[in-house]
Structure formats: structure tokens, C-alpha cells
């Protein structure tokens, strides 16, 4: 590989060296390298960029050395900080080293896995995300539809273009917010960085960059899709939870206040059959566990889906 | 690369795995205000030059960044992002209370290990 002469060239080589790595690792590596290189360049404004990059190879590292450091770190970190219970919900890095470590861990029995979900914080946060997604989904949808229609409507006027640009800007910010939400609640890295303006490029070029960035359009699509998804997630979460909780507490309800109408089908009511409430309770607890598993699975799936549309598209 | 150099590189790598975390945590504990990656790297580089020592991470400062991110992930550091005029927004790191408590334990552990290794190297067994 030839020695890079400019910072973009350096970053390009680094990206090439990391081509098999997880998207999060690639973003982190590129972001860190850019911070370091541009900071160094800023401290010595008169220095020659080529000369500077040659020096960087010994202090910061050559692109391929940097890539190696990040790949190694990724393996070590995922081995050290991943609690065994959370591995299902967390994404699996592609590096083979991690797979080897995961394989060497003691096997957990099916039942331990099934009941283990109770103490997995990721299941609860995924459930919370499902409930929240109705609200965020409605907001994203309204915002996107309003923005698109107003941009089109104002297109004929002089304020049309600035308005559309402003709207796209808010979409980028919202996408960052959604990324943080997913990171916190679903535990998947969403390494989308706030955009910044490269001083060497004009404002028009920057606008063109944003408009030609596939992620802008994928994000709009994601936000529109969040309304139906949010409705579905919310409904699934509420239904599965309320049915399980009602079943689980039916013996207690029967004991305290048997007049309550609970699980009535036509003339048949669970409350008329006190002996049935005990198996119903067991079924309810089973249902709760199942709901948590479902929430974790949906959370994991949604995070991958979101990562694809908000982060990976166009890379 | 000669044969002994390969062994040296491998040893450096193994040695740096734990010590880089200790050094970064200690550097941020001494810092008066939050610092970003490049600042920390340069401060450590300057300190390393005064001692004329071999660099801890075989000279590659890029290794600091993933460690900073890990330390933040485990709650020993906290960070915030601020825009910068020279390039991408910078992530400023600051040590947390947990971080300080952990650092005290790490320091004690380091002293013990250092003492033990020194004792052996100075020929305690002969």
C-alpha cells in the first residue's frame, strides 16, 4: 500500500484495511483517525500535509497498523465486557476471534436460557422501546410528512429551498436521536456521527453531499415506516403483557374479589372455576417470560433493521 | 525484523494491554479539565519523551482511542461531544467518581506487581 499523501487518502486506506470489520468499528476508527490527524494539522498550519502524514505513520500508526489495533481491541473488548446473558440481544461482531471465544464459554441449558430472560436488562429495555415506539413513531411520521409536504409546497417560492435544507437538517438530528435511543435501549451500536462542515468545501457542495447521501433518503423512509412499526410493537407489547399479567394474577383476584370479570368468553368465566386459576397463573408466568423473549427478539431485529437504514446504507 | 525483535514486540503488546488503561485513567485523573483523544495522546507522548523511555504501546497512539471508549463503556470515564473548527466534533473525556476509586485500587495493584517483578528480577531467587 502506498503512503497516503492527504488525510482523505489516509482515511480511505484505513477503511480499505478494515473492510471486513463491523460497521461500528470502522466508524470509530475513521472518526478517531480524523480527529487526530486534523488536530495535528491544525497545530501546525504551515506544515506540508504529505510530510505530516509521513510523521504520523510513526506516532499514530500506518493505516494497516491502526486497522490491526482496532480489530484486536474489538475482540478483547467483546470478550471482556459482554455478560453471557446479554449475548443474544447484542449484535455479534463478524470477527472470527469473537466466535472462538463465544464457543469456548460453558453451554447454558435451554431452561436456564428460557428463565434467564427475567434478569436480562436488555429484555426490559426492549419492551420499553416497543412501548415508546408508538409515540416516537407518530412523531417521526408527522414530522417527515409535514416537512416533505411543506418543502414541496414552498418549492415555488423563494423560501422553498432554504426550508427544504432546514428540514433535511432536522432529519439528520432526529436520526442521531433515534440512534442514541436504540443504543441505550436495544444495545446495538449506531455509530452515526454528527456531520460537520469541511472548511475546504463550499456550502453548496455540503448541501449537495447531504442530498446525494443515500442515508438521508433511507432515514426519511425509516421515519415513515416507524408509524406502522410503532403501532405494531405497541400493540404486541401491550397485548402480550396484559394477557399474561391478568392470567398470572387471576388466583389473587379470585381470592380477593371473585365478582371481577376476568377472561369471560360468552357465559363461561375463569372466575367461576377457582381451581382453574392456578394453571392459569402458571400459564400467565409462562406468557410473561415469553413476552420478554419476544421483546428481546423484536428489539434485536429492529436494531439491525434501523442500523441498516440509518447507518449502513450508502457505505 | 530480527528474531529477538519479534519477541520484544509481542512482549510489548502483552504488557500494554493492561497498562494503557491504567495510564489513561491516571492521566485523566491528573487533568484539570476534560480532554479529547489527541490532547491526551500528545500529553503522554511529551511525558514519555522526558523519560527517554520506549513507548508503552510500541509507539502507536491510535491504540489510546479504543481504550478510552472502553473505559467510558464501563463507567470509569464520562464524555461529551463538542464541535471543533479543525475537524470532526471532539469527544472530551473526564474521569468519574467510580473511575477515581478504581484508579486507587489499580495503583495499589500496580505497586504490588511492580515490587514483586522487581524483586524477582533483582535476583531474589538466587
Q: Report the distance separating Cα A37 and Cα A51, nearest Å.
A: 12
Q: What is the mean pLDDT of residues B10-30?
A: 85
Q: Is A65 on the interface with B (CB under 8 A)?
A: yes
Give the number of A-B residue pairs with CB atoms closer than 8 Å. Answer: 88
Q: Does the beta carbon of A200 lie under 8 angstroms from any beta carbon of chain B?
A: no
Average pLDDT of the residues in A174-203: 74
Mean pLDDT across chain B: 83
Whether A202 shows a pLDDT value over 80: the answer reads no
| pLDDT tops 80 at residue A88 | no
Contacts 24+ apart (CB under 8 A), B120-124: none
Q: A55: pLDDT confidence band, cut at 50, 70 and 90?
A: confident
Q: What is the pLDDT of residue A90?
A: 41
The predicted complex's ipTM stands at 0.80
For residue A119, give how far its alpha carbon lies from the nearest alpha carbon of chain B (Å). Answer: 19
pLDDT at B98: 92
Give the minimum alpha-carbon distance from A78 to chain B in angstroms, rounded to a whole number.
Answer: 10
- Among A32, A72, A78, which would you mutate to test the B interface (most chain B Cβ atoms within 10 Å of its Cβ)? A32
Q: Is the CB of A163 inside 8 Å of chain B's CB atoms?
A: no
Torsion of CA A276, A281, A287, A292, to 10 degrees: 180
For residue A97, what pLDDT is reported? 42
Instruction: Give the range among A121-135, A199-213, A265-279 with minimum mean pLDDT.
Output: A199-213
User: Greater confidence, A176 or A140?
Assistant: A140
Is it the case that residue A96 has pLDDT exceeding 50? no
Q: Please indicate whether, in this complex, the C-beta atoms of B60 and A69 are within 8 angstroms of each other.
A: yes
A1, pLDDT greater than 60:
no
Mean pLDDT of A81-88: 44
At A196, is the pLDDT very low, low, confident or very high (cuts 50, 70, 90)?
low
In eight-state DSSP terms, residue B122 is T
Residue B23 in this model has a pLDDT that exceeds 70: yes
Give residue B54's pLDDT: 52
Is the CB of A77 less than 8 angstroms away from the CB of B66? yes
What pLDDT is recorded for position A103? 45
Cell of A168: 433535511
Could you read off the pLDDT of A294-305 as tens digits, one per residue? 999 999 999 999
Q: In terms of pLDDT, which residue wins out, A18 or A130?
A: A130
Residues in A touching B17 (Cβ below 8 Å): 76
- A31 has a chain B CB within 8 A of its CB: yes
Task: State the burial class of residue A4 (Cβ atoms within 10 Å of its Cβ: 0-12, 13-18, 19+).
Answer: buried
| pLDDT average, residue stretch A4-27 | 84
Contact A69 B66 (CB under 8 A): yes
* For residue A101, pLDDT beyond 50: no
Is A35–B38 a contact, with Cβ atoms under 8 angstroms apart? Answer: yes
Q: Which has the higher per-residue pLDDT, A192 or A108?
A: A108
Please report the pLDDT score of residue A278 as a whole number: 85
More confident residue, B66 or B49: B66
pLDDT of residue A78: 58
Of B69, B70, B87, the CB nearest to A35: B87
Write down the mean pLDDT value for chain A. 80
Q: What gap in Å lies between CA A90 and CA A187, rounded to an integer?
A: 6
What is the pLDDT averaged over residues A266-276?
78
Taking the C-alpha atoms of residue A17 and residue A8, their distance in angstroms, rounded to an integer, is 14
**Higher model confidence: residue B121 or residue A96?**
B121
Inter-chain touch A196–B45, beta carbons under 8 Å: no
pLDDT at A236: 95
Q: Which residues fall within 8 angstroms of residue A304, CB to CB, at 6 or more apart? A: A91, A188
Confidence of residue A77 (pLDDT cuts 50, 70, 90): low
Per-residue model confidence as pLDDT tens digits over B69-110? 888 888 899 988 877 776 777 889 999 999 999 999 999 999
Answer whether residue A194 shows pLDDT above 60. Answer: no
Q: In chain A, pLDDT over 90 holds for what percent of residues?
A: 26
Name every chain B residue with its beta carbon within 8 A of the beta carbon of A40. Answer: 38
Confidence of residue A180 (pLDDT cuts 50, 70, 90): confident
Q: Which whole number is the average pLDDT over B53-79?
A: 78
Interface test mutation site (partner A, options B36, B39, B42, B66, max chain A beta carbons within 10 A): B66
Tell if the CB–CB gap between A28 and B45 is shorter than 8 Å.
Answer: no
Query: Is A119 an interface residue toward B (CB < 8 Å)?
Result: no
Average pLDDT, integer, range A133-154: 94
| Residue A124 touches partner B, C-beta closer than 8 Å | no
Of the listed ranges A16-20, A75-79, A221-225, the least confidently predicted one is: A75-79
Of A28, A38, A65, which is closest to B86 when you measure between CB atoms?
A38
Position A89 pLDDT exceeds 50:
no
Mean pLDDT, residues A5-29: 84
Amino acid at each position: 500500500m502506498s503512503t497516503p499523501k492527504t488525510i482523505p487518502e489516509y482515511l480511505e486506506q484505513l477503511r480499505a484495511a478494515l473492510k471486513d470489520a463491523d460497521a461500528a468499528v470502522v466508524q470509530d476508527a475513521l472518526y478517531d483517525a480524523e480527529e487526530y490527524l486534523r488536530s495535528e494539522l491544525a497545530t501546525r498550519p504551515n506544515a506540508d500535509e504529505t510530510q505530516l502524514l509521513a510523521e504520523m505513520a510513526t506516532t499514530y500508526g500506518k493505516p494497516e497498523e491502526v486497522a490491526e489495533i482496532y480489530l484486536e481491541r474489538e475482540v478483547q473488548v467483546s470478550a471482556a465486557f459482554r455478560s453471557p446473558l446479554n449475548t443474544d440481544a447484542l449484535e455479534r461482531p463478524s470477527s472470527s476471534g469473537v466466535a472462538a471465544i463465544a464457543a469456548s464459554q460453558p453451554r447454558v441449558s435451554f431452561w436456564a436460557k428460557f428463565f434467564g430472560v427475567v434478569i436480562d436488562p436488555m429484555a426490559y429495555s426492549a419492551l420499553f422501546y416497543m412501548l415508546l415506539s408508538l409515540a416516537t413513531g407518530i412523531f417521526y411520521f408527522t414530522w417527515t410528512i409535514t416537512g416533505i409536504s411543506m418543502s414541496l409546497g414552498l418549492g415555488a417560492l423563494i423560501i422553498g429551498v432554504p426550508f427544504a435544507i432546514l428540514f433535511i437538517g432536522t432529519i439528520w438530528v432526529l436520526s442521531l436521536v433515534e440512534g442514541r435511543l436504540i443504543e441505550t435501549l436495544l444495545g446495538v451500536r449506531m455509530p452515526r456521527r454528527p456531520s460537520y462542515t469541511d472548511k475546504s468545501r463550499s456550502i453548496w457542495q455540503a448541501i449537495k453531499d447531504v442530498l446525494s447521501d443515500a442515508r438521508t433518503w433511507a432515514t426519511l423512509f425509516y421515519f415513515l415506516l416507524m408509524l406502522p412499526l410503532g403501532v405494531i410493537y405497541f400493540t404486541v407489547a401491550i397485548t402480550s403483557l396484559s394477557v399474561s399479567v391478568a392470567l398470572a394474577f387471576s388466583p389473587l383476584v379470585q381470592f380477593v374479589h371473585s365478582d371481577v370479570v376476568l377472561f369471560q368468553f360468552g357465559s363461561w368465566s375463569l372466575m367461576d372455576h377457582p381451581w382453574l386459576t392456578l394453571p392459569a397463573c402458571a400459564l400467565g408466568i409462562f406468557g410473561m417470560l415469553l413476552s420478554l423473549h419476544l421483546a428481546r427478539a423484536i428489539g434485536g431485529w429492529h436494531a439491525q433493521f434501523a442500523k441498516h437504514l440509518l447507518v449502513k446504507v450508502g457505505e | 525484523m530480527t528474531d529477538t525483535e519479534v519477541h520484544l514486540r509481542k512482549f510489548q503488546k502483552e504488557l500494554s494491554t493492561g497498562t494503557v488503561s491504567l495510564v489513561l485513567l491516571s492521566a485523566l485523573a491528573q487533568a484539570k479539565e476534560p480532554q479529547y483523544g489527541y490532547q491526551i495522546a500528545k500529553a503522554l507522548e511529551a511525558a514519555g519523551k522526558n523519560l527517554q523511555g520506549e513507548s508503552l504501546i510500541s509507539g502507536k497512539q491510535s491504540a489510546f482511542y479504543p481504550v478510552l471508549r472502553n473505559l467510558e463503556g464501563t463507567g470509569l470515564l464520562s464524555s461529551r461531544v463538542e464541535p471543533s473548527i479543525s475537524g470532526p466534533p471532539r469527544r472530551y473525556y473526564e474521569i468519574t467518581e467510580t473511575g477515581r476509586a478504581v484508579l486507587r485500587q489499580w495503583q495499589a495493584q500496580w505497586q504490588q506487581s511492580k515490587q514483586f517483578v522487581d524483586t524477582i528480577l533483582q535476583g531474589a531467587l538466587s
